Amino acid sequence: MKAYDMVIIGGGPAGLAAAVSAKKAGVESILILERDMELGGILNQCIHNGFGLHTFQEELTGPEYADRFIAQVRELGIAYKLHTMVMDISPQKVVTAMNGSDGMIRIQAKAIVLAMGCRERARGALNIPGYRPAGIFSAGTAQRLVNMEGYLPGREVVILGSGDIGLIMARRMTLEGAKVKVVAELMPYSGGLKRNIVQCLDDYGIPLKLSHTVVDIKGKERLEGVTLAQVDENGKPIPGTEETYTCDTLLLSVGLIPENELSKEMGVELDSVTNGPVVNESLETNIPGVFACGNVLHVHDLVDYVSEEAQRAGANAARYVKGEAEKKGNTITVAAEDGVRYTVPRNINTNGMDEQLTVRFRVGAVYQNAYISVYFDQERVMHRRKQIMAPGEMEQVVLLKQKIAAYPNLSRITVKIEKE
């Protein structure tokens, strides 16, 4: 059995940033395990620009952004294995993996960083009636077909779901000569960034129908059309609102799910809202020495935030490996209430906290001219007005260690949305 100080599961933007950060923090023995044929993860198929504005202060495409980190990994001499599938991770941090050249391998790690990313929610989770004709794709699969493999999935397209990948694919399919007839969204608000709605739909005259869903699929061998209907506040189709669109392609952009089967099997506690691990201020899970970052932790809107979070995870994992992790101090619960769906982290060890800590969260509805409030137990310590907040965009608050230290008996920090 080989031994490494740190094993990073996943060679996408989170895994790469965590590896670079850990190496710079002094960890020599690092191994990245990636199941794909190359490093970079999902960024390799994201050929549109808009990446890197926070991290590199310039606008890059997905492959360009990934290449910046891949170059650092190679310069620093960090080991990685491609085409390698991790089958199991034990609570004792023994990683079992397989690939074509080594066969079955077992690796003992001192610390593990989980950076497996997320996957798309499939049609099976939607319960759409109708047959299973050719022409129904997840938006990410269509993106790979167009951008990496050179295939056009279809000529007449309907998109269900207004997540960022769906919005970007509406523009991409239009640029490739397809006719995108409509984007339908079950919720009364879009699931994507405002800039993507403007740049990918409005600029190309593609209609967005909120509070609509697909209620019927026509065609047996190949998709021939879909029927949309408006839904009520409970998500139930309203009779008499049906509209039929002829199309040969339906793209599904109906949410992302963190890839946490390995995490669950090894005993990592998962958050019921995010489906990602519950972590503390160091991004450490309930298993000591196991850290999580990126979309496996919670689905991000910007890759820059993924990299920033992963750098923290890598640096904290390095501290753990070197025996520099702080002894447990007062543990404070971070709670989400009144419009806040979840928080990352979920608890804070005051000894392990940096001078400032970014707490990220998403809201559960669209709010206009509302306030983000933070309470230390019953006392409100932050009350910040925000013109607009939407579920598609991540929010954050920054907590200062010095301020928390002024409350020695603090047991609970609550983040909530207030109207006034």
pLDDT in tens, 18-57: 999 999 999 999 999 999 999 999 999 999 988 998 899 9
What lies within 8 Å, CB to CB, of 40 at 6+ separation is 11, 12, 13, 16, 62, 63, 66, 67, 70
What are the Cα distances from residue 343, in Å, to 161, 306, 318, 348?
24, 15, 24, 11
Please check the confidence at residue 314 and state whether its pLDDT lies above 90: yes
At residue 139, does pLDDT exceed 60?
yes
Whether pLDDT at 126 is above 80: no
Residue 65's pLDDT is what?
A: 96
With DSSP H G I counted as helix, E B as strand and the rest as coil, what are the percentages for the chain, rounded to 5? 25, 35, 40
- Place 368 in a pLDDT band, splitting at 50, 70 and 90: very high
Strand, helix or coil for residue 300? coil
Cβ atoms 325, 315 nearer than 8 A: no
More confident residue, 217 or 126: 217
Query: Residue 371 is part of which domain span?
Result: 329-419
% of the chain residues with pLDDT over 70: 99
User: 307 and 234, same structural domain?
Assistant: no
Listed residues 264, 293, 325: the one ending a domain: 325
Q: Please determine, for residue 125, whether its predicted confidence score (pLDDT) is greater than 60.
A: no
The last residue of one of the domains, among 207, 230, 252, is 252
CATH of the domain at 374: 2.60.40
Q: Are residues 158 and 41 in the same domain?
A: no
CATH of the domain at 19: 3.50.50.60
- Pairwise CA distance, residues 247 & 254, whole Å: 19
390-404 pLDDT, tens digit per residue, is: 988 899 999 999 999
The predicted-structure confidence for 222-266, as pLDDT tens digits, reads as follows 999 999 999 999 889 999 999 999 999 999 998 889 999 999 999
Residue at which a domain ends, from 283, 307, 325? 325
Strand partners, 412: 333
Q: Residue 122: which pLDDT band, with cuts at 50, 70 and 90?
A: confident
pLDDT at residue 123, rounded to an integer: 63
Element (H or E) spanning 304, and its range?
helix 303-321
pTM exceeding 0.85: yes
The domain total for the chain is: 3
Per-residue pLDDT reduced to its tens digit, 301-313: 889 999 999 999 9
Work out the pLDDT band at 389, boundaries 50, 70, 90: very high
Give pLDDT, residue 351: 83
384 shares a domain with 313:
no
